[in-house]
Amino acid sequence: MATVSIKDVAARAGVSPGTVSNVLNRPEKVAGDTRARVEAAIRELGFVRHGSASTLRAGHSRTIGLSVIDIGNPFFTDVAAGVEDMASERGYAVILGNSSGSRLKEERNLLVFAEQRVRGVLITPSDEDPGRLELLRERGIAVVLVDHPAERSSQCAVAVNDVTGGAMAVGHLLRGGAGRIGYVTGPAAIRQCQDRRRGAEQALAAAGRDPAELREIAMPAMTAKAGQQAAEKLLAEDTLPDALFCANDLLALGMLRGLLQAGVRVPDDVSLIGYDDIDFASASTVSLSSIRQPTYQLGRVATELLLDECDNPDTHAHQQIMFQPDLVVRESTR
Amino acid sequence: MATVSIKDVAARAGVSPGTVSNVLNRPEKVAGDTRARVEAAIRELGFVRHGSASTLRAGHSRTIGLSVIDIGNPFFTDVAAGVEDMASERGYAVILGNSSGSRLKEERNLLVFAEQRVRGVLITPSDEDPGRLELLRERGIAVVLVDHPAERSSQCAVAVNDVTGGAMAVGHLLRGGAGRIGYVTGPAAIRQCQDRRRGAEQALAAAGRDPAELREIAMPAMTAKAGQQAAEKLLAEDTLPDALFCANDLLALGMLRGLLQAGVRVPDDVSLIGYDDIDFASASTVSLSSIRQPTYQLGRVATELLLDECDNPDTHAHQQIMFQPDLVVRESTR
DNA sequence: TGGCCTGATTAAAACGTATCAATCACAATG
DNA sequence: CATTGTGATTGATACGTTTTAATCAGGCCA
């Protein structure tokens, strides 16, 4: 219970508190034998540094904040894993904030980050308003956008090219001989949905087809359930498209189930491709073709940029990194 | 950039720093008009409380630590969601630590928690050694075990009865007329796997059968890929069991795929049931029967216990809560 | 009027660390 | 021998808040 402080350690080792602090923060500055004595004292007393005192005095902490839209989505889970690994390698702790798509919760999380005086924030913004990020930056908190292109060049951002991804998906469907193509998507406000659609249209145009041919089925959510509802919607019509491009794998898995249950064969009757390449894409009964994104890497690189900005504020050059997605062909497309 | 402190607010509002602190922490102690003045000053200056200074002086923080085994597993994601919601309702922030099953990483995370002087820790321990938790408790950090029964009655714990769950699953298979039953499981060291097995054996005994009949197929991991490998293993033998109980849904989904690809009909040839009832269980082509656990609730209740222990250390009574799982029957069993 | 109570406010002292100028011991140099 | 330099250590201060005891302004009662 008796919380042991740096002073206790100093007394035990027969040195001043300042020396103990040096052992902790710049071990190379202190002579070998004293360092050994101090380290022994630390071990014997079970001392652990008081992070808050350290933060208070130093003016900054060894934590970063990570704000994501939906921690239940495997995409963000993978990103978070990358963030955590890199942060932990560099001695930083991660405070996780889940906004669940709610702007209110996002703001509350950012407030917590500010109170904790995090060194920096990684955020996948839930909308396009840059105001609250500006507020953080004014406070000297570095910000890196994740899976979102930068609004200006004065900040770091990492993203994956969704336009390219959309083009890859539809290009693959076209090469398979698809005639009518449907695009099953989520809310129009989501940037990723728009970009993937643009890519799809580009692929049509590149094949000498009219982009307006793309038949859009928009759903209010991007879940497996929504995907199945989309299937019911499609099946109620007289003719099915030859191929379907779903804006994410959850939609695609729901769609797959809906089609198979109705006796539609995949890929013989309809080709189907998803997006994200989540684990379950390869585990479904008809394994799902998909667009793979370097999610884990996305998290790692974003964290690296953030920590570089924190640790070397003078030499740091803001970067906007755009990864490229990959096409993964499996059984659901011909 | 100019970090605005409680003093600046005090000056602006024409009061002393102590009064500002009172407005922040016990608003009822300060007269209405002064409070209004202070609140206005806070808003105008954009003041946000320095969490570290507060923690340092108060001796404890408004954060809790959550240490899980695998944040990529939907089970833990749901738990984490429950934790976060409850914590945030009570004004606490959550620091997430992912041990990935590694004892080293778990210890590193606990050290971070100790440095941050978290108010308490929620942990799903990665092994049975209680030593490191004892260490935390000596430091005055409350600990609640999650999805793990308490080792003694001097601590709180929340768990779901895995023995009952195993019995439910196999009982259901037996009622469906199953003769030979297989149990597809993960590493023997995992407590959940053992408990579910025990439940399965109990169900067999209760039906007047020999528990030793249960055919065990143990895999080194509990992933969909491992499940598919288990299917290959089974198919290489001359006869298939009538029914299979998989220790989690990922194994079951992999098994399902392996069986269907080989032309085995589910549930006509083989009944199949999983465990956890993750989202994808209902979305697979043959929807999966499973055992549902109140995961989100688990997280909420664990957090509630923890915060009660923190906020009312004198009146707090340690509790060991055991939830009961539910049987969810879908298409994969007859 | 003087004494006492109540409620509101303040002044000052911590909390545990990091930092920086100052000090020290001691060797090397002129 | 006096001086300078070097590397190691120390002492003192400040970080921004919470908290406790002390002060203050009125109102009430005798």
Q: HEC profile for B265-287? A: CCCCCCEEECCECCHHHHHCCCC
Domain containing residue A168 = 162-292
The predicted structure's pLDDT at residue B230: 97
Q: Is the pLDDT of residue B251 over 80?
A: yes
Chain A contacts of B114, Cβ < 8 Å?
48
- A82 domain-assigned: yes
Please give the residue of chain A at the shortest CA–CA distance from B77.
Answer: A72
Out of A111-125, A315-329, B13-27, B122-136, pick the least confident: B122-136
Does B66 share its domain with B137?
A: yes
Name which of A274, A186, A284 is nearest A229 in CA terms: A186
Answer for A34: CB within 7 Å of strand D: yes
Out of A2-11, A235-244, B123-132, B218-227, pick the least confident: B123-132
Interface of B with A in 276-295 (CB under 8 A): 279-280, 282-287
Does B175 share its domain with B252?
A: yes
Q: Which two tokens stand for residue A24?
A: 């902790």
A34 CA from C25 C1′ (Å): 15
CB contact under 8 A, B46 and A135: yes
Q: What average pLDDT score do residues A78-93 get?
A: 92
Out of B95-99, B199-203, B268-272, pick the least confident: B95-99
What is the share, in percent, of chain B residues with pLDDT greater than 90? 75
- A145 domain-assigned: yes
Residue from the list B46, B49, B52 with its beta carbon closest to the beta carbon of A55: B52
The predicted structure's pLDDT at residue A132: 82
- A331 domain-assigned: no
Chain B contacts of A254, Cβ < 8 Å?
283
**pLDDT tier for residue A2 given thresholds of 50, 70 and 90:** low
Rounded CA separation B108/B105 (Å) = 5
Query: What residues have CB less than 8 Å from B297, skipping those under 6 apart?
Result: B82, B323
Q: What average pLDDT score do residues A251-264 get?
A: 92
In this predicted model, what pLDDT tens digit does every residue of B65-88 receive, in sequence order?
A: 999 988 878 899 999 999 999 998
Round the average pLDDT of chain B to a whole number and report it: 92
How many residues are present in chain A? 334
Q: Is the pLDDT of residue B1 over 60?
A: no
Does A167 share its domain with A94?
A: no
- A55 domain-assigned: no
Amino acid at B53: A
Q: What average pLDDT score do residues A106-120 get?
A: 93
Instruction: State how far residue B52 is from chain A, nearest Cα, in angstroms.
Output: 4
Q: At what angle do helices A131-138 and A103-115 cross, to 10 degrees?
A: 0
Name which of B238, B242, B297 is nearest B265 in CA terms: B242
Residue from the list A46, A56, A139 with its beta carbon closest to the beta carbon of B56: A56
Does A204 share its domain with A270?
A: yes
Q: Is the pLDDT of residue A121 over 60?
A: yes
Q: What average pLDDT score do residues A263-270 get?
A: 95
Does B305 share its domain with B287?
A: no
**Which nucleotides in chain D lie less than 7 Å from some protein C-beta?**
7-12, 14-20
Q: Is the pLDDT of residue B197 over 80?
A: yes
Q: Measuring from the CA of residue B117 to each C1' atom, give the nucleotide at the shortest distance.
A: C16
Instruction: State how far residue B225 is from chain A, nearest Cα, in angstroms.
Output: 8
Q: What average pLDDT score do residues B161-165 get?
A: 98
Query: What residues have CB less than 8 Å from A169, skipping those under 6 apart?
Result: A196, A199, A200, A203, A245, A273, A275, A291, A327
**Spacing of C-alpha B257 from chain mean position:** 27
Does B16 share its domain with B86?
A: no
Q: Is the pLDDT of residue B2 over 80?
A: no
Answer for A18: CB within 7 Å of strand C: yes
Query: What CATH number does the domain containing A268 carry?
Result: 3.40.50.2300
Q: Is the pLDDT of residue B311 over 70?
A: yes
Q: Is the CB of residue B203 less than 8 Å from the CB of residue B171?
A: yes
A contact test, residue of B77, B255, B264 with most A CBs within 10 A: B77
CB contact under 8 A, B253 and A105: no
Q: What average pLDDT score do residues A161-184 get?
A: 97
- B101 domain-assigned: yes
Does A16 share its domain with A85?
A: no
Q: Is the pLDDT of residue A330 over 70?
A: yes
Please give the residue of chain B at the shortest CA–CA distance from A76.
Answer: B72
3-class secondary-structure state, position B289 = strand
For chain B, the domain total comes to 3
The predicted structure's pLDDT at residue A16: 95
Q: Is the pLDDT of residue A194 over 90?
A: yes
Rounded (5°) CA angle A191-A194-A200: 140
Q: What average pLDDT score do residues A114-124 get?
A: 94
Instruction: State how far residue B124 is from chain A, nearest Cα, in angstroms.
Output: 18
In this predicted model, what pLDDT tens digit does every residue of B278-309 receive, in sequence order?
A: 988 877 778 899 999 999 999 999 999 999 99
- B124 domain-assigned: yes
The predicted structure's pLDDT at residue A44: 95
The CB density around residue B256, as the number of other CB atoms within 10 Å, is: 32
In this predicted model, what pLDDT tens digit does every residue of B28-44 receive, in sequence order?
A: 999 999 999 999 999 99
Alpha carbon distance, N-terminus to C-terminus of chain B: 66
Answer for B47: CB within 7 Å of strand D: yes
Answer for A29: CB within 7 Å of strand C: no
- A56 domain-assigned: no
Please give the residue of chain B at the shortest CA–CA distance from A285.
Answer: B257
Round the average pLDDT of chain A to a whole number and report it: 92
Q: What average pLDDT score do residues A10-31 get?
A: 94
B contact test, residue of A4, A261, A285 with most B CBs within 10 A: A285
The predicted structure's pLDDT at residue B302: 98
Instruction: State how far residue B88 is from chain A, nearest Cα, in angstroms.
Output: 9
Please give the residue of chain A at the shortest CA–CA distance from B252.
Answer: A283
Strand D, CB < 7 A, residues 60-119 of B: none
In this predicted model, what pLDDT tens digit does every residue of A32-59 receive, in sequence order?
A: 999 999 999 999 999 999 999 999 999 9
Q: Is the CB of residue B235 less than 8 Å from the CB of residue B258?
A: yes
Q: Is the pLDDT of residue A285 over 80?
A: no
The predicted structure's pLDDT at residue B154: 84
Does A188 share its domain with A240?
A: yes
The predicted structure's pLDDT at residue A139: 84
- A206 domain-assigned: yes
Query: What CATH number does the domain containing B45 carry?
Result: 1.10.260
Please give the residue of chain A at the shortest CA–CA distance from B61.
Answer: A52
